[in-house]
Each structure stands twice: as structure tokens, then as C-alpha cells.
Chain A
Amino acid sequence: MKQIQDFNVLKNRRLNADHYILELQSKHPIEDVCPGQFVQIEIPDSKTTFLRRPLSVHFYDKSKNMLSLYVRIVGEGTKYLGMVNENDTLNLVYPLGNKFTLVNKKKVLLVGGGSGIAPLLLLASELQKSGNEVVILLGARTADGLLEINTFEKYGKVVTTTNDGSAGVKGLVIDHPVMKDQNKFDFVYTCGPDVMMKAVGEWAKNLNIQCEVSLENTMACGIGACLCCIQKTVRGNLCVCTDGPVFNFNDVVW
């Protein structure tokens, strides 16, 4: 069930100039969260923003009433949010949206670019738990943008690309050798810039591999009421917040 719940900030961990991770804990039991789901977070004390911000759940630990959010600073809201201190209170509406399809005992590839890695950590951990062979391909412009590699390594084999070759394979994610190995994967999950998801999706489609993408459209309500975050799909305009954020690649009209 969706909740409106206060969480305390356990840690606000700055990763680089424009990325941070918020570790949040509630005094009360928290709801189940599935990989791919997101929260709508209130931006405290902001003089310039008005709406909540939708953020993917990066990781969660139900036994400790904890969840974490991986955030890229893209505007005023995420900038203010990055200024919170330990023990500050943040108000969340969650869990929102659908979820990634969880397969068992398969070979799976997760492809993340930029802030698109946000929903992939929880996904990787769940996929590993259900006996999948997990390969995680993370791409960034430069080495400085490849974040949380060590954390991802707990849940699978991590490979990387950078546009300038400063770390991993030089080029785009689609250029990485794991993508050349045909028929290796049963399922592909991707989140990141549209152009990247589209390239990964086309690649998967050509090889007849199932592919799910997680989309990030601007939202107001997050619960399917306002119809602002729509995505064109083969089934008409759908809400990213309730029909998504996870879509089958083939359903999306790009």
C-alpha cells in the first residue's frame, strides 16, 4: 500500500560534484519496495520549488526500515535536497510505480548510464538472490562519472565504458565486448539517457532478447492522477508514474 511517511536522514553521502546518495531510515516499519519503484520526496525549505521530486529507490533494507536514493543534481529541487543534514526529516510518498520483471536462474544484463544506475542496484541484488548470472554494464562520459562500482560488484560482474577511455572500454555502452557476444543473455534491463536505452533496446530486439527500460519523465502527482508524465506507447499515452516507470522496450514509441 502506498504511504506518506517521514524518514530521517542517516547519511548524505556526496559522490562527486553532482551526485549524492541519501540513506534514509524511518522510525516505523516501511512498505515493501520492488526494484524499479520510486518515491516522491518533498524538498524541504525550498523557496523556489513547489512539487515533490520522483526518485528511484536505489537500495532498501526492510529489516532496518531503511532505503537509499541515488540522486543527480539536475535543478533546484535536487540541489536543495542535497543540502540536507543527518537527522533531518524528509517526507516520502512511496512505493510508487510498477517494477522490473524478476527472472530466475537466467543470464541477465543490466545497462546503466549516468543517473540511470539509480534503480539498478536493488534490481541487481534481487536478481542475484534468485540465482541469476548478473552482468552489470555501466557507462559514463569520464572515469569520474563511474560511481558505486564497488557496491555493484557485490551483486554481479561489473564492466564499464567511458566516452574518453579514462576507465573501462573506450566508447559507448553499446561498444562494449559483452554486447558482441550474441545469445549470451536471456533478459536485459536498462536505465539512462533515452539515446542509450534506445540503442540497448534495438540491440536486444535484434537478438530477440527481452528488454525492459526504466523511464524518467517529469511528473507532478506520481500516482496517475494528473496525466502529466505520459509516454507514447503502442497502447497509446501511458503514465510513466503508474503504468511505468518500467516498460517493455517494444511497447515504447521512441
Chain B
Amino acid sequence: MVNLNVKIGDLVLQNPVMTASGTYGYGPEFDDFVDNNKLGGIFVKGTTLEHREGNNYPRMAETPSGMLNAVGLQNKGVDYFCKEIYPVIRHYNTHIFVNVSGSKVDDYVKTAERVGDLEDIPGIELNISCPNVKEGGMAFGTSCSAASEVIKAVRKVYKKTLIVKLSPNVTDITQFAQIAENEGAEAISLINTLLGIAIDAKKQKPVLSTITGGLSGPAIKPVALRMVWQCAKTVKIPIIGMGGIMNATDAIEFMLAGATAVQVGTANFIDPAVTMKIIDGLNSYCIEHNIKDINDIVGLIIKKS
């Protein structure tokens, strides 16, 4: 028997495979394809204090080995989540994390407080890295002082597992990893999408209504691996790695670079059952390599160098 359990703060995940916010809805969207109870965790759609309509169409552009999105945090607000969605998903036998976003520090705080009251939500992911909103979002994740301020404020009111999702659109991501650790976050997750543009040469116009969007998919995997590796050398808190994970081998690579767990995002669009295959693949990898505990491979390339 291989041990696939990993720990994020005080939470024990039954395996390291979780789903990335914004790519998995709230979970039930995938019920026909997967057994959500088998996941290490589900990170639900970015949630804000108030209802948000998101950006105009077009919001998506396919790009080489990836895609750009500019959804802009469309969601019905935290009250709707608590009343209508939470009762439906709370009974999944997996950890459900709410991705919390906002335009002002106070929005983050209030949203975190509301979610903190939900018994079956053991943690939140503080989204200070959404590139697709005009105010807030990435602004908090690309300024050290703003990041520090929002994490500190949320930490004060939120007592359960606090994960901070970092933006790759910075010169030195390790500074932000350090800030999250210093302000008392239990873990960091990275990377959010990379800011990009797609242009339609025929129409001589940008494809997205917002011009810029967030790049995801295998195109960003080497950048994500590098950033996970850098952060793993900088902080002691666990890292949840993501960015272009399409299969178990990709997930293993993130763990070798220093991630304790992973999130699978864009791959869910191409194979809605991919997470189950990745869990099975992690198990097979450990058997093949005679690994009894998957924690043994976390950060192995750092230990070896």
C-alpha cells in the first residue's frame, strides 16, 4: 500500500490531487464523469462579496498548448454561495476550499468571514492574483505592501486553513511566498495564470474583449515548475503547485519541484475525468519506483542538488 495522504496545515488530504478554481465550477458539473469523493480537494469558483457579471464575450482564446481566459470572476456572490451552493456540495467526502477574491481589503475580509462560518468548508484560497479584473485581484498580488495588508487582514478574521494563491506576473515570486508565510498563511498555491494577449490577424483586433487575459495549460508548465521550485527553497509552508498539469507525470514533476499537492485546471476541459486518471497514475508511479509514501518525493530535486 502506497501512502498518498498529504498535509496542508492541519488538513489531511486523501491524495495530492485537487481541482483548480475557475476550471471546475463547484464540483457537481463533473459528477457524471468523476467521483468527487475521491479527490484530494476541490477549489470552487472565485467568490466575491457581491454578485459579479464578469467580462464581456469573447472571454476565451485558444493558444498554442493552452488558452487565454478573461472571465473576470463571474459569480453570484458569497451569500448565494452560502445559501444555494454550499448545501449541495458540503457532503462531498473531500475538502472544499472557497477561492476568495475582491476589489478592496474589506471585501476579502467580509467574504472570508462569511465562508468561515460554514462548517464544512475547512479552508479558503485567497485569490490575490486574478489578472482579469480592473480593481483588486492581481493588484494585491503584485505589490508587496498590498499583499501583506490583505493577508494580514484576512488572517485576523479567518481561523481555518488559509492558502494564498500567488501571481506569476511579478519579478520575484519568492517575495510574495515569504509574505504569505510571514503573515501566517498555512500554504501557498501557485501559479495563477500568466498575463497574455491573443490577436486575430485577419480582423486586426485582439481576440478577447478585455484585450489581455490569463494564460493556462501546458504552455505555462515550465514557468510554473520553476516558480514552485523557487518558492519551495524559500518557505517552509506547503506549496500547492499548478500550471499545465495534464497527467500524472506532470503532477509528479510539480511534487519533485517542491509541491506537496497539486491543482489540476485547464486539463478538466479536455478530459473531464482527468483527475481520476492522475490519482491512479500517482499510485502507479509510487509502486513502480518503490515509493511507500508520496511525501518522500516532495522537493526531491532540491534535496538532490
Give the B-binding residues of A (Cβ under 8 A). Answer: 1-4, 42, 48-52, 93, 217-232, 236-237, 242
Contacts and interface: CB of A to CB of B under 8 A. Distances in A.
Interface string B196-210: 000000000000000
B270 A50 contact: yes
A50 B29 contact: no
Interface stretch (B50-58, B148-156, B166-174): B50-58
25 contacts: A1-B32, A4-B271, A42-B270, A48-B64, A50-B62, A50-B64, A50-B217, A52-B269, A217-B58, A218-B61, A220-B60, A220-B69, A221-B23, A221-B272, A222-B269, A223-B25, A225-B25, A225-B30, A225-B268, A226-B60, A226-B69, A227-B45, A232-B56, A237-B54, A242-B29
Contacts of A49: 62
Contacts of A4: 33, 271-273
Nearest to B32: A2
Interface in B51-106: 53-54, 56-67, 69, 71, 74
B184 interface: no
A51 B71 contact: no
Contacts of A218: 58, 60-61
B24 interface: yes
B22 interface: yes
Contacts of A230: 54, 57, 59, 74
The 3 A-B residue pairs with the shortest CB-CB distance, nearest first, are: A228-B60, A225-B25, A2-B32
Q: Is the interface of B mostly helix, strand, loop or mixed?
A: loop
Contacts of B269: 51-52, 220-222, 225-226
Interface of B: 22-25, 29-30, 32-33, 45, 53-54, 56-67, 69, 71, 74, 217, 266, 268-273
A227 B74 contact: yes
A50 B67 contact: yes
A103 B272 CA distance: 34
Contacts of B57: 217, 229-232
Nearest to B52: A237
A3 B272 CA distance: 10
B64 A228 contact: no
A48 B65 CA distance: 8
Given A4-B273, A49-B62, A51-B270, A228 B71 contact: yes
A224 B69 contact: no
A237 B74 CA distance: 9
A226 B271 contact: no
Contacts of B24: 225
B59 A224 contact: no
Contacts of A48: 64
A51 B67 contact: yes
A55 B22 CA distance: 23
A227 B54 contact: yes
A55 to B, nearest CB: 15
A2 B54 CA distance: 27
Contacts of B22: 226-227
Contacts of B54: 227, 230, 237
A107 B61 CA distance: 41
Given A225-B23, A230-B57, A51 B30 contact: no
B25 A224 contact: yes
A69 to B, nearest CB: 18
Given A225-B25, A231-B57, 17 more contacts: A4-B271, A50-B63, A50-B65, A50-B66, A50-B270, A51-B269, A93-B272, A218-B60, A221-B23, A221-B272, A223-B29, A223-B272, A225-B23, A226-B69, A227-B22, A227-B54, A232-B56
**Central interface residue in B57, B65, B217, B266, by most chain A CB within 10 Å:** B57
A96 B24 CA distance: 16
Contacts of B67: 50-51, 220
Contacts of B33: 2, 4
A78 to B, nearest CB: 12
A226 B30 CA distance: 12
B243 to A, nearest CB: 15
Contacts of A42: 270
A52 B217 CA distance: 14
A254 to B, nearest CB: 12
Given A1-B32, A2-B33, A220-B69, A228 B268 contact: no
Contacts of B23: 221, 225-226
